[in-house]
Structure 1
């Protein structure tokens, strides 16, 4: 009988068996016994993953949740993952991603200094699988060898205020590519009614973490890779037509249009406008449902984020459409008061453009298309030879800096 796992890695999937299989293979290569894996298939054809998993069910670390006769909602599929988790911490990744479970050793190091650890998160690498219908990109690698404790107030102000603050993580902190204590997750179920509630499940969790967690730590060193394949929703984020199709399919499977939910009467922005609007939708749902507040001045930061959303689009047509939609909404919002903060930079053609590689302000950028790299795991193994060893990371407490500045 194994002791309680330190970490449970949950991998929910729907109709992406190609990358799901590769992700499972990559995760199981780690020989640790203090980790549990929950693989939750939610596909239309259950037999594909049933046949594949038959060879892995003897591994005592594996829990396999097979597809049901009727497809589950994303919320229900993610919730059943967490319900099956036995680890002290839980991490959720996509079926085209990778996470290094050896970060368990780093969790143990932090807990030796701070037993109140609720959340350990990190910078993520990005990788477009071969066949991804978008131009190749470079991989941004943070080289700082540090782990910072961050005050919850910093993260709350950053997320619900749409602004970057000193000593902040600069990325959303939650169980999606992060490790959150099951004790905290159980408190979410008690306070909010379920582990996962809003259909945009990753940012649902961010809302709950930044409003509730105590010991929050962030590593500059990456411990995971966020992959994107041709079949994934993330493939559509940077293309307006693809996003519209993915949005329509998402609403169809949900059984309603979230943009018509009552709390959306507060804003002219709709999730179909882009990523920034989708995040705002979750924030408005969370604050209006559970009595939390957006941070004063958030509107300016949101308008700036809408401009960044447009700048990340892959094609000029997608760029123009995104700008048009956001500009129209901003004109209707508070009489156009925040339209002056919407200043997208000119479009930059990415197809055929030579990517920058090298050092910029202490960060390393490499081209993602390297001959011997064809999966997120292979990218991570390569980058691991460049970044600091986990045992050499310096753990620092920055939470007092925020308290001093706020006093």
Structure 2
């Protein structure tokens, strides 16, 4: 292994060469030798990515092809283990990063910051991306929101408390490894304490909760040094057309998870909400089991009832179990109140869509662009000349 670099950008992938190749190309176009791109590939198809990676003569690229089937979480675990940089950023194979991420890592190192989480103010939709409400209106578009360039210090324990109160539904408000910068020593600490960085069926949720447990604070910056992508074949793409749910034993996302254990407290079906909850539950079980009593199961049941009435049986089965367990944060009255609160949240969302009826939701749209490479170049043009991370 050569000299340790400032930053490792880690990309787990599986059977998605057409996205991953452009993703990696876009990052390697950055004019810096202070980072590496780590790709861990479990593809079992024709794997154009492997053939392309072998042909690349760039020592910043570390490509590993794993010949056995792995779950998403296992793939992420092996990918992160390859990182050697002072800081680590985990992204998806249809995403990219801005060259500002190098300045961000230097800034974090200089200021003694272990976790730097950007607000999501840049997004790219691949040409095959569509949604229920807007069809293909997003296809090929780069979206940029208003940016304040402010950096705010956050309390990790408070962020964790808020997340538990929301049944850990997403990484919003938490420290992030996925589309964030994390000092590698924190990941080493997570691995040293339990043997793994990730638990459960959602690596990004698991990492965020783990980081909240091993840190006292983190920083949030209102500047997009990463560019999340959304493609038709991704979990984001499935969610956008309401197809990101189903039977746990048969869903393609879930099948690779061997010997999967599922807590009786959680409804036994596959959805965004239950996967997030499962990852959170597993992470807490291994890292901080005393916090499971603070997991707001009433909120989870309420959200599942509101969004997934077609899975009534497993939801009711979880409820029946919860009624007989003491010490769990659950009651029928709390579910009723949580459903009412969730109704108003959805109402506010509909009102916002009415106020901003176009698919950009008030953000500036650019493009269309045929892949994330060109979208990244446009983002560089718009954002790259005004660095927020001063030397």
Do the structures match in fold with TM over 0.5?
Answer: yes
Shift of 1:79: 2.1
What SS class does the counterpart of residue 91 from structure 1 fall into?
Answer: strand
Query: In the TM superposition, what whole-angstrom CA distance separates every residue of 1:90-122 from its partner, at most 9, and x where no partner exists?
Result: 111111111224322123223333x2x221111
Task: Tell me if 1:105 matches 2:107.
Answer: no
Residues 225/271 of structure 1: CA separation in 2 closer, same or farther (3 Å cut): farther
Closer, same or farther: CA 38–198 of 1 in aligned 2, 3 Å: same
What is residue 120 of structure 1 aligned with on the other side? 116
- RMSD value over aligned CA atoms? 3.5
Q: Distance in 2 between matches of 1:132 and 1:95?
A: 15
Q: Deviations over 1:170-200 (max 9, x none)?
A: 4442211111111011111110212333332
**Aligned residue pairs: how many?**
362
The answer to whether the Cα contact below 8 Å between 1:46 and 1:67 also exists between their aligned partners in 2 is no
* CA distance in 1 between partners of 2:301 and 2:274 (Å): 10
Structure 1 residues 288, 5: closer, same or farther in 2, change over 3 A? same
Distance 1:83 1:381 in 2: 30
Aligned to 1:255: 258
Change (3 A) 1:243 1:140: farther
Q: Which residue of structure 2 aligns with residue 218 of structure 1? A: 220
Structure 1 unaligned spans of 5+: 311-318, 359-363, 395-407
Paired with 1:32 and 1:46, the residues of 2 have a C-alpha distance of 32
Post-superposition Cα deviations, 1:209-245, rounded to whole Å, max 9, x if no partner, equal: 1111245111111121221212212211234445327
Instruction: Indicate conservation of the 8 Å contact 2:244/2:272, yes or no.
Output: no
Relative to structure 1, the CA distance from residue 357 to residue 127 in structure 2 (aligned partners, 3 Å threshold; closer, same or farther) is: closer
Report the counterpart of residue 190 of structure 1 in structure 2: 192
Paired residue for 1:62?
61
Change (3 A) 1:356 1:24: closer
Residues in 2 aligned to 1:301 and 1:193: alpha-carbon distance in whole angstroms: 31
8 A Cα contact 1:150 1:217, kept in partner = yes
SS of the residue 1:250 aligns to: coil
The alignment status of 1:162 with 2:166, answered yes or no, reads yes
Residue 5 of structure 2 contacts residue 84 of structure 2 at CA under 8 Å; is this kept in 1? yes
Please, which of 77, 89, 106 is the counterpart of residue 91 of structure 1?
89
The TM-score normalised by the length of structure 1 is 0.76
Q: Which residue of 1 aligns with 2:327?
A: none
Whether the 8 Å CA contact 1:270–1:278 is kept in 2: the answer is no
Q: Which residue of 1 aligns with 2:234?
A: 232
Deviation of 1:161 after TM superposition, in Å, equals 2.3
Label 1:292 to 1:376 Cα distance change in 2 as closer, same or farther (>3 A). farther
Asked whether the equivalents of residues 147 and 393 of structure 1 are also in contact (C-alpha less than 8 Å), the reply is no
CA contact (8 A) 2:98 2:225 kept: yes
Alignment partner of 1:379 is 2:375: yes
> Please, what TM-score do these two structures have when normalized by structure 2?
0.79
Contact 1:227/1:376 (8 A) holds in 2? yes
Give the C-alpha shift of residue 22 in structure 1: 0.7
- Structure 2 gap segments, 5+ residues each: 323-329
